[in-house]
Amino acid sequence: MSHHLLVVDDEPKLCDLLVSALTQNGVQVSSAGNGLQALAILELENIDLIISDWRMPGMDGPQLLAEVKARYPLVPMIVMTAYSTVKNAVQSMRNGAYDYIAKPFDIDELDITVNKALAWRDILRDNARLRAELEEHHQFDSLVGESPAFRRVLQAIDSVRDSTATVLITGESGTGKEMVARAIHKHGGRADKPFVAVNCAAIPEGLLESEMFGHRKGAFTGAVADRVGRFAQADGGTLFLDEIGDMPLALQAKILRALQERVIEPVGDPRERKVDVRVIAATHKSLLDAVAAKEFREDLYYRLNVFPIPLPALRERNEDIPALARHFAVTLAAAAGKRINGFSAQAVQAMVAYGWPGNIRELQNCVERATIVATGKQIEEQDLPAYLFHSPVEPRENQTLPGPAVPEDLDATLADNEKNYILAALHQTHGVQAAAAQLLGISERSLWYRLKKLDIHVDKIAR
């Protein structure tokens, strides 16, 4: 990787010497006589490393360092000082200089420091790039859905994102709990700080405390080095406690204390640390049931439940299924290098009619599979997994299912069923009859006839 260095010194001779000594294959060197000139060059060039004198007329080393830290935090700076001012060097390190080198120095010594600083710069730059890529990737995860049930969720995200209130997201598995948590973080005031997720159900009970709060080297067998816990990692940002319902009781008291007093105590270290974290918790379990069963502390429940966001199951927002399916088809097909532009009407109908016990995640998996097997530009009914078309209750072997109860009045029961199905279809299509007919697999004419027969008034259906 080619690098561009900037040497800053009020002594032109030293500048020239450094420029010629440091210039080599893949390294370009510019020079400036004081801090202001250096800033002008930084403005124009893509500088990777600054090597600067401490005492200079005009803008001096400390001032330049402060400006660089504020404007170009990824550019390391090496400070050159005279022996007599090593105290300044120490101060410069405290203020964020990468390293210092005492004058007079020989060029090999400087070379070593420069190479280390450039390697550091490369790491910082790679990190920044990866982070930007991740951000971009997350934009794919835009929240899809316009149903009234989902709009309530979006409004809740909007009203809580800028506060630091604790949020409790509940919902069945696959309803988008983690995605909502990330959206709150990403659109809130802590977006540039870390989002740290902990799955409380996935970490063995014995390790959870040190995972959350960190530990001191030697605190227990296996603690071979100090460890920073998740609370401390999330300092300034957001801590996402996923599956909080699976947090062991013993640890719940410690979590409660961290939430209440905003301090943590690493394992084996009696000193408390202050932390500033916004907590978002999620669970697919009913915490109230867990409280009743004495598996979850009631005080912690109330601490967490400051701002509850319940997520609807997909079957409670099946108006969103076509848009979600389309979103997955387009993004997943593009990732697989295929072009898919939608679904056949029958395929949509089958997906809308299915119950999706695994919610959005199940829909996503189903669409992913369909984009792989589809041969045309559209996903057809036969590209969808067969289980979508079966009743969700699979008859077990050697077990005869009881037949349906015999109705007292067959005609009235059939008419009732017919009416319910038609109303459901009309609700889903916001009263658009052509779409409802398509959903039901009948002609518009047939639907019109049935509406009359069953005395259904479309204009009374909520739009």
Ligand X SMILES: Nc1ncnc2c1ncn2[C@@H]1O[C@H](COP(=O)(O)OP(=O)(O)OP(=O)(O)O)[C@@H](O)[C@H]1O
Instruction: Name the residues that contact Mg ion, by CB under 5 A.
Output: 178
Residue with smaller CB distance to Mg ion, 66 or 179:
179
Q: What burial class does residue 65 get, using C-beta atoms within 10 Å of its C-beta: 0-12 exposed, 13-18 middle, 19+ buried?
A: buried
Q: Which of ligand X, Mg ion, none interacts with 81 (beta carbon under 5 to 8 A by kind)?
A: none
Contact of 79 with 89, CB cutoff 8 Å: yes
- Residues 250 and 231: their CA atoms lie apart, in Å, by 17
Contact of 168 with 307, CB cutoff 8 Å: yes
CB 283 → ligand X: shortest distance, Å? 9
Q: Which residue is nearest to Mg ion (CB)?
A: 178
Residue with smaller CB distance to Mg ion, 247 or 447:
247
Residue with smaller CB distance to ligand X, 99 or 242:
242
Q: Which of Mg ion, ligand X, none interacts with 442 (beta carbon under 5 to 8 A by kind)?
A: none
The helix (run of H) or strand (run of E) holding residue 138 is helix 107-140
CB 242 → Mg ion: shortest distance, Å? 5
Q: Which residue is nearest to ligand X (CB)?
A: 176
Q: Which residues bind ligand X (CB under 6 A)?
A: 141, 143-145, 171, 173-179, 284, 324, 327, 360-361, 364
Q: Which of Mg ion, ligand X, none interacts with 175 (beta carbon under 5 to 8 A by kind)?
A: ligand X
CB 178 → Mg ion: shortest distance, Å? 4
The helix (run of H) or strand (run of E) holding residue 78 is strand 77-82
The three-point CA angle 155-160-166 to 5° equals 135
DSSP 3-state of 58: coil
| Token pair in block for residue 175 | 């309803």
Q: Which of Mg ion, ligand X, none interacts with 321 (beta carbon under 5 to 8 A by kind)?
A: none
CB 150 → ligand X: shortest distance, Å? 7
Residue with smaller CB distance to ligand X, 35 or 174:
174
CB 141 → ligand X: shortest distance, Å? 5
Q: Which of Mg ion, ligand X, none interacts with 415 (beta carbon under 5 to 8 A by kind)?
A: none
Contacts of 405 (CB under 8 A, 6+ apart): none
Residue with smaller CB distance to ligand X, 31 or 364:
364
| Token pair in block for residue 71 | 């404007």
CB 174 → ligand X: shortest distance, Å? 5
CB 181 → Mg ion: shortest distance, Å? 8
- DSSP symbol at 84: G
CB 145 → Mg ion: shortest distance, Å? 17
- Residues 453 and 395: their CA atoms lie apart, in Å, by 36
Within 10 A of 185 (CB to CB), how many other CB atoms are there? Answer: 24
Contact of 114 with 5, CB cutoff 8 Å: yes
| Token pair in block for residue 364 | 């996503």
Residue with smaller CB distance to ligand X, 214 or 312:
312
Q: What burial class does residue 124 get, using C-beta atoms within 10 Å of its C-beta: 0-12 exposed, 13-18 middle, 19+ buried?
A: middle
Contact of 231 with 251, CB cutoff 8 Å: no
Q: Which of ligand X, Mg ion, none interacts with 174 (beta carbon under 5 to 8 A by kind)?
A: ligand X
- Residues 92 and 100: their CA atoms lie apart, in Å, by 8
Q: Which of Mg ion, ligand X, none interacts with 361 (beta carbon under 5 to 8 A by kind)?
A: ligand X
Residue with smaller CB distance to ligand X, 149 or 179:
179
Residue with smaller CB distance to ligand X, 50 or 198:
198
Q: Which of ligand X, Mg ion, none interacts with 284 (beta carbon under 5 to 8 A by kind)?
A: ligand X
